[in-house]
Structure 1
Amino acid sequence: MNKLLTSAEHDVRVRDVEYTHDGTRMRGAVVAAPGTRGAPGVLLVHDAFGPGEDMLAIARRLAALGRPVFCADIWGARTRPRTMAEIGPLIGGMVADRARWIARVSAAHEAAGAQPELDGGCLVALGYCFGGSSALEYLRGGGRLAGVVGVHAGLDLLDPGADWSAAHPGASVLLCTGADDPMATAAQRDALQNALTGAGIDWETDVYGGTVHAFTSPRARNSPDPRVIAHHPRSAARAWDATTRFLRETLPA
């Protein structure tokens, strides 16, 4: 992300963390202000492009606000695909094996909880695009989270008829989505909201007009098809404000 760091963002520390899942080496990271210990924080789940600089920039912003972050690695080995030809099989593999998909997020949650900077029992999972889908699937599968924020989450990856009975009812969910996102249609939003209500989960959906998929992503500025993917600065700012407000509401200071 091409932006100057604020002084607070510059001061945060980034520490690589290796962990494993099913024999695969995962490379996460803790991002936190100096001296942070046992604090409620964020499990950041990357988009389809993996745990790259865009995700690290988000983690720095959150850490500068006093929220330590564990950056998950869902693909493994900190893989950062560049093209849809690379991304398609990665997402397809997770959707085809949802138990493995949920287990990948669970492994990141466990690794986060083992870090001295974070309180593993008081985390919000924040996911962008595929990461939002991942966080929701993890919650549905029984992930013990204080909350989930899905920013332009791919609701098309979720099974609208899936059983949510294992979901932790004490969690809250925030969705920040574009009104015209073909990967999160009105019907898909309704199906998810009905499932959350049925599971006793508090939820909020913020829908931004004139906005499609990946609206916060710097990569979307050069989208080959702005009818599907396009950067929208105003909606991105609104989603950030909603996310930080949700964290204040959901996590203790």
Structure 2
Amino acid sequence: MAQLSTRDIAYTVDGTRMLGMLVAPEGAHGLPAVVLFHDAFGLGEDAIAAAHRIARLGFAVFAADVWGDRVTPTDESQIGPLIGGMVGDRPRWLARVAAAHATAAGQPEIDGASLVSMGFCFGGSSALEHLRAGGGSRAVIAIHPGLDLLADGWDEAHPGARVLLCAGAADPMATAEQRDALEAALTGAGIDWEEHLYSGTRHAFTSPKAVRSPMPDVVAYHPRNAMRAWAATETFLLELLAEPAAVPA
């Protein structure tokens, strides 16, 4: 197994310093890459561990910083204002997501024409929202995203992209109605999609932090389905690795 190298990468969006992290096999150059978006808790240990896991499959991974200065909230009371600040100013949110893609594409380890956008929870919403607004990701992987955060209108989305959605059937932030609407929007935009839906499973089901959830009816860790979602993710990524790289036109 190849050794992995890591380095911090600072970039700026509208005067705000962002501090992302690149994880890639040592000596890598021009690899297909995943732009990884963290959940509400920021670019901390969980997101960095996910980046390493993906890099071991043969990808370069750019773990983005959406909050800025690598803020990692430690209290639920901090999370609402952070997410609300993005959703309430969608151009700022999309600019931060787009800047992460542009920064990733500029790294020598990365093939800028072969970017996959991936995220958990808020990060999954970020990846889908970037695609909806015309971002040129080759594919999107959204793990228990908040579908309630997405705006309407997929007219700008580029056909030819692929989407993997892993969601809990009991997730109040990705209801059956919201999933149906997303499926219809993706189909209408000419986007190839697949969905893995897990019964009895709520929001943030891959996050070990959710074991201590104060609202288990909303957020709850589900270890078996966390493993299933990772298996689906790895299968999806390995399929992409075997295919010619092409950003949707």
CA drift at 1:140: 0.7
Q: Pairwise CA RMSD of aligned residues? A: 1.2
SS of equivalent to 2:158: coil
Q: Secondary structure at the match of 2:232?
A: helix
Residue of structure 1 equivalent to 2:212: 222
Among 170, 184, 207, the residue aligned to 1:180 = 170
1:22 aligns with 2:9: no
Contact 1:123–1:251 (Cα < 8 Å) also in 2: no
- The aligned residue for residue 4 of structure 1 is none
Cα deviation, residue 33, structure 1? 1.1
Match of 1:167 in 2: 157
TM-score by length of 2: 0.95
Which residue identity is paired with 1:41?
A
- Residue 225 of structure 1 deviates from its aligned partner by 2.2
Unaligned runs of 5+ in 2: 244-249
Q: Partners in 1 of 2:159 and 2:90 — Cα distance?
A: 21
Tell me which residue corresponds to 1:5: none
> % of aligned pairs identical?
61
Give the superposition deviation at 1:64: 1.3
Q: Is the 8 A contact 2:57 2:238 kept in 1?
A: no
Aligned length: 243
Aligned to 2:227: 237
Question: 3-state DSSP class of the match of 2:205?
Answer: coil
Checking the alignment, whether the CA contact within 8 Å between 2:139 and 2:163 is kept in structure 1 is yes
**Normalized against structure 1, the TM-score is what?**
0.93
How far the C-alpha of 1:251 sits from its partner, in A, is: 3.5
Counterparts of 1:250 and 1:12, CA distance in 2:
21
Paired letter, 2:166 = C
The secondary structure found in structure 1 opposite 2:160 is coil
Deviation at 1:56, TM superposition (A): 0.4
Partner deviation per Cα, 1:42-98 (whole Å, 9 max, x = no partner) = 000000000001000001111112111000011111111122221111110111111
1:151 deviates by 0.2
Match in the other structure for 1:45? 37
Partner Cα separation in structure 1 for residue 84 and residue 170 of structure 2: 23
Match in the other structure for 2:26: 34
2:247 equivalent in structure 1: none
- Equivalent residue for 2:238? 248
Instruction: Compute the displacement of 1:41 (Å).
Output: 1.4
Task: Confirm or deny: 8 A CA contact 2:94 2:130 kept in the other structure.
Answer: yes
The 3-state SS of whatever aligns with 1:238 is helix
Counterparts of 1:238 and 1:198 in 2: how far apart (Å)? 28
The Cα of 1:230 is off from its aligned counterpart by 1.0
Where 2:94 maps in the other structure, the secondary structure is: helix
Matched, 1:92 2:84: yes
Residue identity opposite 1:247 in structure 2: L
Is 1:133–1:150's contact at 8 Å kept on the other side of the alignment?
yes
Match of 1:132 in 2: 124
